[in-house]
């Protein structure tokens, strides 16, 4: 059973400090540059990422340093693990063969730190734009450190400051009221969520406990000589304890040369369900997200093994620099496996149920590092499956839109590697796209993603139901919406449509030939065939077309 209390020595300071998402909403009207149209996004306010080649990198860093001085700031250079880089010529190691290293540029205000709202407060966006204007350069390969979010419906941590408040249907749904057991008795139904926001409400697709009947996923296949099981990697909040997730099926920790990959801090959202927010017994918005995703994969591909990497914190937030570092380390393990090197890890499908919106997505203005990393994975025969997002808009979400989609202006060209698949969500009857799901030509396929049933750690939050009356020696009450000790729940989001597709692909792939050195061309062709078959089946099952 999961422990939904707090870690040992957890204090009000930890709860309060962690409750504030780290990110700033970009205002496109600040520091405008002719010829560059910017759109809102969320970013780490004091950090830039520079992923250019060595020669241009040094010139760009000098330009950024000179421009920072005009604000009264300075820049400090570090690698993706926070190690200091001394001098503009001290470049970090390449992330992967063919993928240059990334320098993190910290923007620092010397002396007393100004208030966050002060015009003197370090602002990576202002520095980037003013440097572009001064140098008359687009600064290709230099970008913001974006903040990504895992986002089941109604729990985007940037709801209050999300730049899409005009079109985001979830702004009216406070994450602490969506699962409040007392809202049903409120006679003022004017507060009832409208449209897509309805999916965040328990009983309408929002997270709530359920009782699942019948046996769970059962493995039936016996491994033939020279074969291994397909492997699905999930980079998310981790994977909690559950009967469906024994250690012989789920790998919960990876290391690269003895160093853990992903987050390993104590604030584990798959172990502790109520780390942040009010002391009201309500489970935080995203705990269990990774376990739920793993459960979807288990149901669609019971023969598959799962690799779980904890990437998002308990607020569902992922900084782009951490995503880059984690992807590079995971893909390096895949590369070693493909080469037959010791310590490699087999991965066939990579599930990414997270995303962000880029402020300048047109060709040449956004860092291609995440794309380059995922391209290497696809070159190795790994299918990449991404959720499209839950904001009910058609603006491309990244990394889902990092493929050569019709009409796209990112400069990405078609290739013959394993596929990159962007997934939107269908309603339960598969006759309509869920209203919350992002849509557009950059979405490959739609799969079930509303009111999905899967497993959840046995979080024990508030047990108080709306009504209780004990009779005949039994406790009698209505459902306590924060009591997940039954181990199962229903939930909605493209976060759960993506692993549906990942599971179908893994099932189509079947048992994989085990060779000492994995033939890359064979692996790619095998994955392309499995993915084409899976997408064809999903497309035929999609009854949403008008």
Residues 407 and 531 in one domain: yes
pLDDT at 321: 96
pLDDT tier for residue 516 given thresholds of 50, 70 and 90: low
pLDDT of residue 116: 58
Indicate if 122 and 220 belong to the same structural domain: no
219: nearest Cα among 240, 193, 249, 196: 249
CATH number of domain containing 105: 3.30.70
Residue 317 DSSP code: E
Single out the residue of 543, 322, 523, 327 nearest to residue 419, CA to CA. Answer: 523
Judgement on whether residues 341 and 456 belong to the same structural domain of the protein:
yes
Give the mean pLDDT of 213-235.
91
What end-to-end distance do the CA atoms of the chain give, in Å? 46
Between 432 and 21, residue with greater pLDDT: 432
**344-363 per-position pLDDT tens digit:** 999 999 999 999 999 998 77
Could you report the per-residue pLDDT of 250-262, keeping only the tens digit for each? 999 999 999 999 9
Q: Are strands 445-448 and 259-260 parallel, antiparallel or unpaired?
A: unpaired
Residue 201 lies in a domain: no
Query: Considering 149, 184, 199, which residue would you say is the last residue of a domain?
Result: 149
CB 467 within 8 A of CB 182: no
Q: Which residue has the higher pLDDT, 327 or 198?
A: 327
Q: Which residue did the predictor score with more confidence, 236 or 461?
A: 236
Phi, psi of 86 (to 5 degrees): -95, 110
Residue 76 has pLDDT above 60, yes or no: yes
**Could you tell me if residue 371 is inside a domain?**
yes
For residue 240, pLDDT beyond 70: yes
**9 within some domain:** no
User: How many domains, in total, are found in the chain?
Assistant: 2
- What values do phi and psi take at 157, rounded to 5? -70, -10
The closest alpha carbon to 134, from 53, 89, 71, 74, belongs to 71
Higher pLDDT, 458 or 516: 458
Mean pLDDT of the chain: 88
CB atoms within 10 A of CB 307: 23
DSSP track, 281-308: SPPPSSTTHHHHHHHHHHHH-TT-EEEE
What's the mean pLDDT in 15-35? Answer: 88
Name the most confidently modeled range: 16-25, 239-248, 406-415.
Answer: 239-248
Task: Give the per-residue pLDDT at 353.
Answer: 98
Same domain, 270 and 416: yes
Mean pLDDT within 201-219: 90
pLDDT in tens, 132-185: 999 999 999 999 999 999 877 755 555 433 333 333 433 333 333 344 444 444
Which of 106, 129, 149 lies at the terminal end of a domain, its last residue?
149
Counting residues of the chain whose pLDDT is more than 90, the rounded percentage is 69
pLDDT tens sequence across 287-325? 999 999 999 999 999 999 999 999 999 889 999 999 999
* Model pLDDT, residue 52: 79
Look at residue 120 and tell me whether its pLDDT is greater than 50.
yes
Predicted confidence (pLDDT) at residue 518 exceeds the cutoff of 80: no
Per residue in 26-75, pLDDT (tens digit) is: 999 999 999 999 999 999 999 999 997 878 899 999 999 999 999 999 99
Identify the DSSP state of 340.
T
Looking from the CA of 425 toward its CB, the CA atoms found within 13 Å total: 33
Q: Judge if 329 and 212 occupy the same domain.
A: yes
Does a structural domain hold residue 162? Answer: no
Which tokens hold the place of 355?
């995303």
Considering the domain architecture, whether residues 129 and 277 belong to the same structural domain is answered as no
CA distance 349 to 233: 6
Answer whether residue 25 is part of any domain.
no
Is 491 within the bounds of a domain?
A: yes
Q: What is the pLDDT of residue 306?
A: 98
CB atoms within 10 A of CB 277: 17
In a domain, 5, yes or no: no
CATH number at residue 488: 3.40.50.200
Return the pLDDT at 168: 40
Helix (H) or strand (E) holding 214: none
Q: What is the pLDDT of residue 164?
A: 39
The residue with greater pLDDT, 472 or 518, is: 472
pLDDT band, very low/low/confident/very high, at 367 (cuts 50, 70, 90)? confident
Torsion of CA 396, 401, 405, 409, to 10 degrees: 60
Instruction: Please tell me whether residues 430 and 332 are part of one structural domain.
Output: yes
At 361 the pLDDT is 86
Residue 138 structural domain? 30-149
Domain end residue (candidates: 149, 167, 189): 149
Predicted confidence at residue 479, as pLDDT, reads 85
How much is the pLDDT for 382? 98
Residues in a beta bridge with 516: none
Q: State residue 359's pLDDT score.
A: 94
Q: What pLDDT, on a 0 to 100 scale, did the predictor assign at position 365?
A: 78
- Let me know if residue 227 belongs to a domain: yes
């Amino acid at each position: 059973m999961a422990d939904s209390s707090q870690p040992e020595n957890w204090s009000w300071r930890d709860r309060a400090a962690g409750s504030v998402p780290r990110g700033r909403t970009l205002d496109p009207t600040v520091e405008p540059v002719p010829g560059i149209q910017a759109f809102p996004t969320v970013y780490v306010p004091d950090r830039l990422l520079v992923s250019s080649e060595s020669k241009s990198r040094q010139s760009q860093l000098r330009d950024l340093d000179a421009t920072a001085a005009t604000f009264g700031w300075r820049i400090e250079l570090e690698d993706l693990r926070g190690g200091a880089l001394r001098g503009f010529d001290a470049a970090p190691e390449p992330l992967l063969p063919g993928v240059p290293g990334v320098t993190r540029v910290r923007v620092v205000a010397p002396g007393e730190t100004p208030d966050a709202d002060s015009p003197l407060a370090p602002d990576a966006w202002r520095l980037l734009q003013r440097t572009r204007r001064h140098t008359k350069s687009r600064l290709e390969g230099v970008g913001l450190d974006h903040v990504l979010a895992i986002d089941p419906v109604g729990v985007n941590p940037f709801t209050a400051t999300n730049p899409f408040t005009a079109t985001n249907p979830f702004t009216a749904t406070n994450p602490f009221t969506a699962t409040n057991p007392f809202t049903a008795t409120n006679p003022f139904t004017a507060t009832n969520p409208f449209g897509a926001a309805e999916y965040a409400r328990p009983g309408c697709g929002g997270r709530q406990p359920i009782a699942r009947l019948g046996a769970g996923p059962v493995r039936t296949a016996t491994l033939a000589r020279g074969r291994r099981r397909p492997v699905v990697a999930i980079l998310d909040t981790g994977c909690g304890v559950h009967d469906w997730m024994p250690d012989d099926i789920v790998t919960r920790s990876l290391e690269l040369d003895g160093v853990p990959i992903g987050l390993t801090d104590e604030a584990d959202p798959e172990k502790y369900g109520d780390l942040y927010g009010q002391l009201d017994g309500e489970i935080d918005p995203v705990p269990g997200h990774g376990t739920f995703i793993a459960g979807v994969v288990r149901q669609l591909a019971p023969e598959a093994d799962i690799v779980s990497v904890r990437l998002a914190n308990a607020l569902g937030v992922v900084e782009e620099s951490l995503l880059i570092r984690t992807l590079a380390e995971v893909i390096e393990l895949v590369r070693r496996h493909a080469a037959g090197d010791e310590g490699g890890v087999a991965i066939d499908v990579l599930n990414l149920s997270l995303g962000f919106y880029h402020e300048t997505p047109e060709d040449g203005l956004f860092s291609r590092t995440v794309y380059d990393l995922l391209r290497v994975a696809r070159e190795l025969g790994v299918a990449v499956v991404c959720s499209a997002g839950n904001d009910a808009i058609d603006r491309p979400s990244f990394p889902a839109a990092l493929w050569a989609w019709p009409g796209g202006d990112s400069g990405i060209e078609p290739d013959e590697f394993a596929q990159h698949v962007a997934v939107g969500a269908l309603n339960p009857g598969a006759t309509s796209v869920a209203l919350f799901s992002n849509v557009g030509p950059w979405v490959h396929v739609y799969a079930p993603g509303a009111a999905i049933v899967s497993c959840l750690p046995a979080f024990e939050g508030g047990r108080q139901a709306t009504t209780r009356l004990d009779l005949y020696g039994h406790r009698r009450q209505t459902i306590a919406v924060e009591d997940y000790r039954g181990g199962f729940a229903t939930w909605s989001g493209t976060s759960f449509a993506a692993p549906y597709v990942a599971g179908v692909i893994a099932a189509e792939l079947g048992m994989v030939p085990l060779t000492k050195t994995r033939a890359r061309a064979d692996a790619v062709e095998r994955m392309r065939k499995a993915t084409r078959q899976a997408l064809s089946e999903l497309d035929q099952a999609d009854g949403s077309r008008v």
